[in-house]
Amino acid sequence: MTNTGHYNFETRKLLSSTINTEKMSREQLAVQRARKSFQTGKSKPLEYRLHQLKSLLRFITERRRDIADAVKRDLGKSENGTELFETLGLEGEIKLAVEKLAEWAAPRPVEKNLLTITDEVYVQPEPLGVVLIIGAWNYPWAVTLQPLVAAIAAGNAAIIKPSEVSSHSSKVMEELLPQYLDKDLYPVVTGGVSETQELLKQRFDHVFYTGSGTVGKIVMEAAARHLTPVTLELGGKSPCYIDKNCDISMACRRITWGKFVNCGQTCIAPDFVLCEPSIQSRVVEEIKKCIKEFYTENPETFEDYGRIINQHHFKRLMGLMEGNTVAVGGGSDESQCYIAPTVLKDVTAESNVMKEEIFGPLLPIITVSGVDEAIQFINEREKPLVLYIFSNDNKLIKRVIAETSSGALLANDCLVHFTVSALPFGGVGKSGMGCYHGRHGFNQLSHLRSCLIKQLNMEAFNNMRYPPHTAKKLGWARFFLLKQVNVGLLRRMALLAALAGLAAFVVQRFLQWG
């Protein structure tokens, strides 16, 4: 039994009675503990946030082995692969947050107008409260903990719900994270669909979801019931256009890397290739060469080539291959959930493989007559999470940018925009809403509160807004509201005038000495 003594918004009654906590589910308890802990104000001071962030960093460095082990069992990824794709980025985010936190959390002064020229005007970032972070299974650590970095930096409490599909990582997170972070403020809640649904019934101050669009809709609908804002990092089919006049072997190297990393299970992987028929065979050849270079003749035995997460996805991917011409690879082993790096050529737009996000090591090539048809093809479909274009022609690149839309655009490489923390990472349309990384994550999980601090003097000035109204008063109001004054410029000119005055004074004195 717990005595809460707070105001219940649903029943409009002041609850001084006790709540029967035995009847509350595990999820409800975790959320309630996190909220109470947040309300004590513990997570607000910067020192506390820095302490938690540094502990998180220690967790990643000290438990490197455990994390790599878990990822190997979940996705077949090598230890070095885990470091490169999961923990390195995470470390970078934490270090950036630690370095910049004081700057991000400080009041941000804004431009004033004539009416507020003597007032203090600024935007104050504040924590939102309790954030729900629902992670994904493809990069179980990066995609679950990077939003956590933003949540901690912004001063929130956070419920972490890792994906049950990456079961080993989720178990390790549940066991080890509480040894480094505050147990009440940042609880890890594991479980499947029903636990997630139970969580989504609770009230949060923000929900951060990474995963598929179908579940994204359910998450947003659940959040709507409490008027909770959401960040949805979804997916889509990220097109990759190769211009016939570019360095095709270099382009294919980068595409091969981007596609087959994590066995194609990356939300920003190039989903399919668009190119002219004349270069299709060259593209196939180059990719074949790169696959051999990266993953050896037999990727199945190669340490740095991963596996499909589970049987369900394995079967789904095998189904997508049906009816298409395999140009490279195509081999598989159900017992290991292994699918070889595969390229499909002459794929049609109506084929199964073009109906949903592939999320696997199948790379279809669709031929288009040129960049016009490519742009048309892209615009006929939902806005993707990222658009890739390989070309030496800057004008062509700019044209594609102007005539299409996507979460992000990357020219002449794959995936690396994820590592530039100054770039906002997120989707648009069906590929998601909201963004994060670096300062954007901090802003996303903060409330940027407008603050205007005036004085109680100069009341005569306000008379123009008070009734009884007259035309003359209105004239003054119009003047003060409409006259746009660049206060910054005025200040600089005043400073310049003062300096000039000082200089004149100094020169004059100097002349007197002489």
SS3 sequence of 269-327: CCCEEEECHHHHHHHHHHHHHHHHHHHCCCHHHCCCCCCCCCHHHHHHHHHHHCCCEEE
Q: How far apart are CA 392 and CA 247, in angstroms?
A: 8
Nearest CB to other proteins, comparing residues 171 and 465? 465
Give yes or no for residue 264 binding other proteins (CB under 8 A).
no
Q: How far is the CB of 305 from other proteins (least distance, A)?
A: 8
Within 389-428, the residues that bind other proteins by CB under 8 A are: 390, 392, 394, 397, 401, 403, 405-413, 416-417, 419-425, 428
Nearest CB to other proteins, comparing residues 280 and 446? 446
**Contact letters for other proteins, residues 451-480 (x by CB under 8 A):** xxxxxxx-x--x--xxxxxxx-xx--xx--
Nearest CB to other proteins, comparing residues 73 and 112? 112
Q: How open is the CA angle 55-141-48, to the nearest 5 degrees?
A: 25
Q: Locate tokens 């109470």: which residue?
A: 36
Name the CA radius of gyration of the chain, rounded.
Answer: 28
Give yes or no for residue 485 binding other proteins (CB under 8 A).
no
| Segment interacting with other proteins (CB under 8 A) among 5-13, 65-73, 180-188, 346-354 | 5-13
| Segment interacting with other proteins (CB under 8 A) among 67-75, 155-163, 269-277, 442-450 | 442-450
Q: How far apart are CA 209 and CA 432, in angstroms?
A: 10
Look up residue 172 and give its two tokens. 């390790």
Q: How far is the CB of 188 from other proteins (least distance, A)?
A: 25
Contact pick of 430, 436, 441, 444 for other proteins (by CB under 8 A): 430
Give yes or no for residue 435 binding other proteins (CB under 8 A).
yes
Give yes or no for residue 489 binding other proteins (CB under 8 A).
no
Q: How far is the CB of 178 from other proteins (least distance, A)?
A: 28
Q: How far is the CB of 377 from other proteins (least distance, A)?
A: 15
Nearest CB to other proteins, comparing residues 62 and 334? 62
Contact pick of 69, 198, 300, 303 for other proteins (by CB under 8 A): 303
| Segment interacting with other proteins (CB under 8 A) among 57-65, 301-309, 331-339, 343-351 | 301-309
Contact pick of 2, 7, 40, 500 for other proteins (by CB under 8 A): 7
Q: How open is the CA angle 359-284-406, to the nearest 5 degrees?
A: 45
Q: How far is the CB of 58 from other proteins (least distance, A)?
A: 17
Active-site residues, by number, are: 233, 267
| Segment interacting with other proteins (CB under 8 A) among 1-9, 187-195, 323-331, 354-362 | 1-9
DSSP 276: -
Beta bridge partners of 233: 210, 432
At 157 the three-state DSSP class reads strand
Contact pick of 4, 124, 190, 310 for other proteins (by CB under 8 A): 124
Nearest CB to other proteins, comparing residues 318 and 451? 451
Q: Are strands 386-390 and 272-275 parallel, antiparallel or unpaired?
A: unpaired
Q: How far apart are CA 53 and CA 180, in angstroms?
A: 10
Q: How far apart are CA 408 and CA 236, in angstroms?
A: 12
Give yes or no for residue 443 binding other proteins (CB under 8 A).
no
Look up residue 322 and give its two tokens. 């049906």
Residues touching other proteins, count (CB under 8 A): 119
| Segment interacting with other proteins (CB under 8 A) among 153-161, 173-181, 278-286, 445-453 | 445-453
Look up residue 57 and give its two tokens. 């960093």
Q: Name, in order, each residue with C-beta under 8 angstroms of 119's C-beta and a sequence gap of 6 or more.
A: 112, 452, 453, 454, 455
Q: How far is the CB of 387 from other proteins (least distance, A)?
A: 9
| Segment interacting with other proteins (CB under 8 A) among 183-191, 303-311, 325-333, 343-351 | 303-311
Within 63-102, the residues that bind other proteins by CB under 8 A are: 78, 80-81, 83-84, 88-89, 91-92, 95-96
Q: How far apart are CA 302 and CA 268, in angstroms?
A: 24
Is the alpha carbon torsion for 21, 24, 25, 28 positive or negative? Answer: negative
DSSP 431: G
Q: How open is the CA angle 73-76-81, to the nearest 5 degrees?
A: 115
> CA nearest 436: which of 76, 89, 85?
89
Cα separations in angstroms, 478 against 114, 160, 196, 474: 12, 52, 54, 6
Is the Cβ–Cβ distance between 410 and 272 less than 8 Å?
no
Is the Cβ–Cβ distance between 24 and 202 less than 8 Å?
no
Q: How far is the CB of 105 from other proteins (least distance, A)?
A: 12
Within 14-53, the residues that bind other proteins by CB under 8 A are: 14, 39, 41
Q: How far is the CB of 323 from other proteins (least distance, A)?
A: 30
Q: Locate tokens 């199964």: which residue?
A: 352
Is the Cβ–Cβ distance between 382 and 431 less than 8 Å?
yes
**Contact letters for other proteins, residues 155-194 (x by CB under 8 A):** ----------------------------------------
Give yes or no for residue 121 binding other proteins (CB under 8 A).
yes
